[in-house]
Amino acid sequence: MNGDLPLVALVFKTATLLLGGLVAVLAYRAYRTTRAEGLWLLAVGFGTVTIGAFAAGTLDQFANVDHGLAITVESGLTALGFGVIAYSLYRRE
């Protein structure tokens, strides 16, 4: 464990995981109700962003990997997730 993560950063990362997961679950529930594909994509996008935050935190704190790799993984998944979110809002049903 690196142990050099400030407490406030840990609190913000935890909030990101909880709120991102909540938005993904709510979007998925809305998709199940409406069957609107845009809502499915929105859930996938937020889920991807949230998984990116989780993966980076896990890699940085518990795996013996370079901090730069953890940031790169998080940045890549965040970019991918936001791309899916943008597409979900842009597309027409």
Kindly state the helix (H) or strand (E) to which residue 65 belongs, with its residue range. none
The pLDDT value recorded for residue 25 is: 98
How long, in residues, is the chain? 93
Task: List the chain domain ranges.
Answer: 7-90
Low-confidence ranges of the chain (pLDDT < 70): 1-5, 93
The pLDDT value recorded for residue 9 is: 84
Residue 91: half-sphere exposure toward Cβ, Cα within 13 Å: 14
The pLDDT value recorded for residue 7 is: 85
The pLDDT value recorded for residue 62 is: 87
Sign of the Cα pseudo-torsion (40, 44, 49, 53, in order): positive
Model pTM greater than 0.85? yes
Tokens of 33: 């109700």
The residue among 26, 12, 17 whose CA lies nearest residue 49 is: 17
Tokens of 17: 């995981």
